[in-house]
Structure 1
């Protein structure tokens, strides 16, 4: 007996909704790097970030952790550190592209309580603890599987927006991913962040709002 098409369509839609709800709830279960939204324009925001503590390692950004960088950081938070301390996973995972003088980096945000108590030193010399200096960033949010082509296209849109606003920004950009590798592309949360130069100003919204 043939299954009616409308039934298959309904099951497909239900499955998509279930996966979407699961993805959002799973993401919400992690502590996320805090920030304040200074200005919002569609999927672009100006955010103020505090100093963050990161566990970082060298990484080829395009490989999205498949070069072993993700597992080095995951082993660190799983207890591969002084005291064998287990540390909760957080979002996002920050990624920086390298240049001719240095390799790229991947970094996990250290949870607030661990940061305040003092993050344990890594056992692996490839992992280091460092401070990501806070400040004001322009951020564009998008979905899909992040790769160089997509990231570059989104960065171009963001820089054109900055130019239209007369805002000066750094030449480098960061990528941020909020989801596990197996989350479908349309449900993923990705961001490109560009640090604004200290002398660059933007008109504030009536109120700032905390985001995550």
Structure 2
């Protein structure tokens, strides 16, 4: 069910925000990053869409609290042009190990939260060390893909 991934260190274009749900954050965050790859950058260049779209989730302290989200698009190679839209920035994720749980269908805040909770329960039952203070959702498909969709939750391994 879960396998460790060794190295997440890579170049990304990112945006951060706080919201009640991942769905709410994705509406604006995804479009900001899509604008970047569509030419809203210093070089005014178009950049191919890549996958996954990776969202880091830092859960709020309670059910009626905002969570912190960082939405990321992978940008291949080095020397990516600087973003021109406010709130969009280039970043590198640190190398880390994560446990991965894959699932199909369309992802949403409720589905991703349930899959992350299932993964954390399985890790707890197996005695595996993990960090529950944040986790990731990785989406690999275009919104227009209907069948064979692939999503993942990534739970950081506690060091």
**Bucket of the pairwise TM-score, normalised by the shorter protein:** 0.7 to 0.9
Number of the residue aligned with 2:137: 175
1:120 pairs with 2:78: no
1:49 aligned residue? 7
Deviation of the 1:190 alpha carbon: 0.7
Task: Name the count of aligned residue pairs.
Answer: 150
2:150 corresponds to: 189
Whose helix fraction is larger, Structure 1's or Structure 2's? 1
Greater Rg by CA:
1
CA distance in 2, matches of 1:57, 1:108: 9
1:83 matched to 2:43? The reply is yes
Structure 1 unaligned blocks of 5 or more: 1-42, 199-212
Q: Is 2:38 the counterpart of 1:73?
A: no
User: SS at 2:91's partner residue?
Assistant: strand
Query: Normalising by the residue count of structure 1, what TM-score does the alignment of the two structures yield?
Result: 0.64
Bigger RCO of structures 1 and 2 (CA < 8 A, at least 6 apart): 2
Tell me, in whole angstroms, the C-alpha distance in 1 between the residues paired with 2:125 and 2:33.
38
d(CA) in 2 for partners of 1:164 and 1:70? 35
**Structure-to-structure mapping, 1:145-156, within 5 angstroms:** 145-156=106-117
* Worse-matched range after superposition: 156-165 or 97-106: 97-106
Unaligned runs of 5+ in 2: none
Deviation at 1:56, TM superposition (A): 0.8
In structure 1, the residue matched to 2:68 is 103
**Root-mean-square deviation over aligned CA pairs:** 2.0
Q: C-alpha distance in 2, partners of 1:92/1:134?
A: 16
Cα distance, 1:190–1:168 mapped onto 2, change above 3 Å? same
Measure, in 2, the Cα distance between the counterparts of 1:148 and 1:71. 17
Cross-structure match for 1:16: none
How much has 1:63 moved relative to structure 2? 3.3
Matches within 5 A, 1:155-166: 155-166=116-127
Query: For structure 1, which segment, 92-101 or 165-174, has the greater mean C-alpha deviation from structure 2 after superposition?
Result: 92-101
